[in-house]
Amino acid sequence: MRLFELLLFLSNIGLFALTFLLKKGRPRIPLFVASGIATLLLVIHWTVEGYRVQLFFSYCIPIIFFATSGYSYFRKKGPQKIPRLLLGLANTAIAIMLGVTAVLMYAFPVINLPEPAGEFKVGTQTFHLVDRNREEIFDKTRDGKRELMVQVWYPVTVGTGKYAPFIPDTPILRYMAANYGLPEFTLQHLKYVSSHAYSGAEVSSAQTSYPLILANPGFGSSRFLHTSQAENLASHGYIVAVIDHTFNTFATEFPDGRITTSTTNDLFSPEDDYRTGRESRDKLGKVLTDDVAFVLDQFELIQSGQIPSHLKGRIDLDHVGVFGHSIGGATAYDASYDPRIAAGIDLDGGMYRLRDREELQKPFLFINSESYFEELKMVMDNRIFTDAELNRMGSTREWMNQVTEDKKLELERMHETVDEGGQILYIENTEHLNFADVQFISPIFKMLGITGKIGPERANSVINAYMLDFFDMYLKNQGGDLIKGPDSRFPEVKFVTSLIKFN
């Protein structure tokens, strides 16, 4: 919570309390002075911190008090007696306004993202990339080539000026709110959230080059929602590029002001049978995997200077990693078949195109939520659902049998990576959205079970620690202690590699 908005809210409570403490005769001077101070705090808050809709009632209260007490103070006649019923209604209204404001301030705070833990400061740059060799298949309104927005975080020695905003493309915030089933205005305050990166800063000269990591958000997500992970890796000496997979994000804004929203869900229909749904997922997956290959091609051009950037000549293209969340994790796995990629991480994602691929012969780390691991364990235990359970899930036995068949192949693929140095973990008390920065946006997500019982800061620090350790081992030839087995510092991390087998 920001300082002046907190002081403003407390001043509102103080004004409300004064109406009771000064009931006898209602001295006009103290109330006028107090409301003047509250109004001054309002002006300072608006000027320094910026207004937000969640504080609307907190803005009304001091103005109303200042106007009414000012009128009472300057009028020549004595104080006018207010009918008890009217006074009671006014006090009740103010109490409700204060209560609603308190709830909204708690539910939608102006958050602080976790600070990166590495030795480097962090810079950021955004690229608009166009693949001239691919037609856009998800836009039904116009013909065009596949376009992507890619944001890069990288190590810098010195940063100047203010940090870049967490979400610089503020017009997309209303789409973000709608994506989570909230009124469009709800998340507008996120425009005040700061990252820990400097725009356009020079790359640190501490090393001649830095390994590259490509990252992929989940379905209906955004590159912004992996800022804390990208910043942390960059602060430890990596160049991290997070790809907005156009039409798979909740919204993407391009330099010319165009905003695209998610249309890839049009591939799926409640009327589809399981096989059709799998084919649609594979179709989407191929586009996402091709996006990664294309972006890696573009980094080769950035490295050579054909695309202007501070990163010219500073990218270690011999050591490239990839990670992703949800379907972005599936993308990370599928993209790892590219010989230019050395290692990858899947954050709580399934897989696609498994029947088109042979064994992945390189190290790969799977970090799952506890809830997803429980689903996998049902498959490993050959659990047969009862009719009542299937009815509750809204599924059929035929459908679940096909799900189980796919999950078994998925588990086989997961286990195959272990021989190449991979691992399979899950984190206790986590849910799917604990693997992205959406977990920080509102504490009500935890109350609703959208995120797990684990604290967002703790979940973030655990995930960051294991991601860093894995990439350090395979991209820098150092570290690797955490992925070898359980560690007392992270008791919530459970190694389940040995359990991934079938009777």
d(C-alpha 298, C-alpha 307), whole Å: 8
pLDDT at 503: 46
Sign of CA pseudo-dihedral 362, 366, 372, 377: positive
Question: Strands 423-427 and 259-261: what pairing?
Answer: unpaired
Q: How does pLDDT run across 297-325, given as a tens digit for each residue?
A: 999 999 999 999 999 999 999 999 999 99
pLDDT classification of 24: cutoffs 50, 70, 90: low
Q: How does pLDDT run across 87-146, given as a tens digit for each residue?
A: 788 889 999 999 999 999 999 999 999 999 999 999 999 999 999 999 999 987 777 999
pLDDT classification of 501: cutoffs 50, 70, 90: low
State the DSSP H helix or E strand holding residue 427, giving kind and residue range, or none if neither.
Answer: strand 423-427
State the DSSP H helix or E strand holding residue 147, giving kind and residue range, or none if neither.
Answer: strand 145-156
Interhelix angle for 84-107 vs 3-21, to 10°? 160
Q: Are 180 and 437 in contact (CB under 8 A)?
A: no
- Residue 394's CB: how many other CB atoms inside 10 A? 8
pLDDT classification of 152: cutoffs 50, 70, 90: very high
Burial class (CB in 10 A: 0-12, 13-18, 19+), 290: middle
What average pLDDT score do residues 252-281 get? 89
Which of helix, strand or coil describes residue 190?
Answer: helix
d(C-alpha 216, C-alpha 236), whole Å: 20
Of the chain, the percentage scoring pLDDT greater than 70 comes to: 95
Query: Does the pLDDT of residue 58 top 80, yes or no?
Result: yes
Q: What is the pTM of this model?
A: 0.92
What average pLDDT score do residues 149-166 get? 92
Q: CA 231 from chain center: how many Å?
A: 13
Beta-bridge partner residues of 367: 347, 425
What average pLDDT score do residues 429-445 get? 96
pLDDT classification of 498: cutoffs 50, 70, 90: confident
pLDDT at 1: 75
- Residue 60's CB: how many other CB atoms inside 10 A? 15
Which of helix, strand or coil describes residue 428?
Answer: coil
pLDDT at 88: 80
d(C-alpha 18, C-alpha 30), whole Å: 8
At residue 401, φ and ψ (nearest 5 deg) are -65, -40
Which of 198, 199, 211, 197 lies closest to 303 in space, CA to CA? Answer: 211
Mean residue pLDDT of the chain comes to: 91
Residues 6+ apart with CB under 8 A from 318: none
Residue type present at position 152: V
CA 224 → CA 109, 191, 356, distances in Å? 17, 12, 31
Characterise 153 by phi-psi region: left (phi > 0), alpha (psi -120 to 50), beta (else).
beta
What average pLDDT score do residues 16-45 get? 82
